[in-house]
């Protein structure tokens, strides 16, 4: 069965996300994106090979993926006690890097602040202005898109898995073996053995 264009769309969206997270040194999203790419491959394999178990595993992963992207939305919108200035969750607290879109968003003008006393050692302070869309909202839109695709993928995986399971249950071995009355075929010989008289 043809897996259709949707798994390809999922892979493209996941790879796009992975590239921009790599550019921004966002280690937690990089790890999550890698797992998501593996899960999408598993879902495609399950569809092509008629393996409902793989599709169920993919559906379970998509539930986790929705939760992760909901967290990213909350993080960038600073819901509750989350703070981008205080929490460096996305880099596992290993660096002060932020989203790649912070400096490279559409229309953004980056100006370095020279001799700033706020700069930690080996870092510099910048001001970003003129952005048509702030980086937080780009990240939120990206995560919202992932949630939408994941919900679509969840429904797709559940439906296809159900179809596969129904096909397995209703499969009839035409001309198959009757477990009680099966007898092995008798060997027939084309050669009739005749007694030999000497």
Does 184 map to a domain? no
pLDDT at 121: 56
- Do residues 27 and 69 share a domain? yes
Mean pLDDT, residues 173-197 taken together:
55
Number of domains in the chain: 2
- Do residues 104 and 40 share a domain? no
- Do residues 18 and 67 share a domain? yes
Phi–psi pair at 127, nearest 5 degrees: -115, 140
Does 111 map to a domain? yes
- Do residues 108 and 140 share a domain? yes
Does 197 map to a domain? no
Whole-number average pLDDT of the chain? 78
- Do residues 82 and 20 share a domain? yes
Does 182 map to a domain? no
Buried b (16+ CB within 10 A) or exposed e, 38-75: ebbbbbbebbeeebbebbbbbbebbeebbebbebbbeb
Does 12 map to a domain? yes
Residue 91 is classified by DSSP as: G
3 pLDDT higher than 70: no
Does 15 map to a domain? yes
42 pLDDT higher than 50: yes
The whole-angstrom separation of Cα 137 and Cα 142 is 8
- Do residues 134 and 68 share a domain? no
Does 27 map to a domain? yes
Answer with the residue of higher pLDDT: 175 or 9.
9
**SS3 state at 191:** coil
CB-CB contact of 14 with 33 (8 Å) = yes
- Do residues 59 and 104 share a domain? no
Does 195 map to a domain? no
Tens-digit pLDDT profile for residues 168-178: 766 555 544 44
- Do residues 106 and 129 share a domain? yes
CB atoms within 10 A of CB 83: 9
| Share above pLDDT 90 across residues of the chain, in percent, rounded to a whole number | 22
73 pLDDT higher than 50: yes
Mean pLDDT, residues 92-108 taken together:
78
Range of the domain at 76: 8-87
- Do residues 74 and 131 share a domain? no
CB atoms within 10 A of CB 142: 22
Tens-digit pLDDT profile for residues 134-173: 888 999 999 999 999 999 989 988 888 888 888 776 655 5
**SS3 state at 127:** strand
34 pLDDT higher than 50: yes
- Do residues 17 and 73 share a domain? yes
- Do residues 48 and 105 share a domain? no
pLDDT bucket at 197, cuts 50 / 70 / 90: low
DSSP assignment of 13-54 equals HHHHHHHHHHHTT-HHHHHHHHHHHHHHHHHHHHHHTT-HHH
**SS3 state at 55:** helix
- Do residues 70 and 104 share a domain? no
């Amino acid at each position: 069965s043809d897996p259709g264009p949707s798994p390809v769309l999922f892979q493209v969206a996941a790879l796009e996300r992975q590239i921009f997270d790599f550019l921004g040194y966002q280690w937690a999203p990089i790890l999550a994106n890698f797992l998501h790419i593996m899960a999408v491959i598993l879902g495609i394999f399950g569809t092509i090979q008629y393996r409902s178990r793989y599709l169920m595993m993919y559906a379970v992963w998509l539930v986790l993926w929705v939760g992760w992207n909901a967290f990213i939305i909350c993080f960038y919108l600073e819901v509750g006690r989350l703070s981008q200035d205080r929490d460096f969750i996305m880099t596992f607290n290993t660096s002060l890097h932020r989203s790649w879109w912070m400096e490279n968003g559409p229309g953004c003008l980056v100006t370095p602040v020279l001799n700033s006393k706020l700069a930690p050692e080996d870092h510099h302070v910048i001001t970003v202005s003129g952005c048509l869309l702030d980086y937080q909202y780009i990240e939120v839109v990206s995560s919202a898109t992932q949630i939408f695709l994941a919900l679509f993928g969840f429904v797709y995986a559940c439906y296809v898995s159900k179809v596969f399971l129904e096909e397995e249950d209703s499969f009839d071995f035409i001309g198959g073996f009757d477990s009680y009355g099966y007898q092995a075929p008798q060997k027939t010989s084309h050669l009739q053995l005749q007694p030999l008289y000497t």
